[in-house]
């Protein structure tokens, strides 16, 4: 271990640079994980719902003129299955994931900070100065993450409504209208999977 540390500190970074990297990894990994679980996941949920609305509205504009009154009435009278059990299972799985993520995060944070402190003592660097510098870097990383997510992430439309529309219509056509795929016209078969 001492040979590796000496090689890194003499050829790649000085000892303070190595300590900065170790502490920075711990701080940024901790921040990104906490930021995701407390804020970004909520924003991403809003983004998914917003894009689902865009996709559904686009799909309805295409399909609505094709539906006769009987089909519209059947859709209107369709009873949705109660999804409470599935929602509870998803919530429980997410909570387990969050708890295991925080457990791993605590270990990573503690190890990186202890290693940083021990290396600072070994090389006689001011640990508190290094922490202060890394907290300043962390503040800028946090501001960048927050700004990017709110200015760009919320506005970026990643859903390809044309592909989804084609996929749904193609599946309906193949499975409900033409049970024998040989009857499906070539323009329906040339779309990407």
pLDDT in tens, 53-67: 988 888 888 888 888
Lowest-confidence pick of 70-79, 87-96, 105-114, 170-179? 170-179
For residue 184, pLDDT over 50 is answered with: no
Helix, strand, coil percentages, rounded to 5, for the chain? 85, 0, 15
pLDDT for residue 10 is more than 80: no
N- to C-terminal Cα separation, the chain: 51
- Per DSSP, the residues of 113-126 read HHHHHHHHHHHT--
Query: Which tens digit of pLDDT belongs to each residue from 17-67?
Result: 889 999 999 999 999 999 999 999 999 999 989 888 988 888 888 888 888
Return the domain boundaries, the chain.
2-49+86-157
pTM of the model: 0.71
């Amino acid at each position: 271990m001492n040979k590796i540390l000496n090689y890194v500190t003499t050829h790649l970074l000085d000892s303070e640079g190595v300590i900065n990297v170790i502490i920075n990894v711990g701080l940024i990994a901790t921040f990104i994980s906490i930021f995701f679980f407390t804020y970004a996941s909520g924003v991403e949920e809003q983004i998914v719902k917003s894009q689902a609305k865009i996709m559904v509205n686009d799909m309805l504009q295409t399909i609505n003129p094709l539906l006769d009154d009987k089909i519209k009435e059947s859709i209107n009278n369709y009873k949705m299955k109660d999804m409470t059990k599935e929602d509870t299972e998803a919530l429980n799985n997410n909570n387990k994931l969050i708890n295991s993520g925080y457990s791993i995060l605590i270990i990573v944070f503690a190890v990186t900070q202890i290693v940083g402190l021990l290396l600072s003592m070994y090389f006689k660097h001011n640990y508190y100065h290094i922490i202060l510098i890394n907290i300043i870097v962390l503040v800028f990383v946090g501001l960048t993450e927050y700004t990017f997510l709110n200015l760009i992430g919320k506005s970026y439309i990643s859903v390809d409504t044309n592909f989804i529309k084609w996929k749904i219509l193609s599946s309906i056509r193949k499975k409900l209208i033409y049970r024998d795929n040989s009857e499906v016209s070539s323009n329906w078969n040339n779309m990407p999977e």
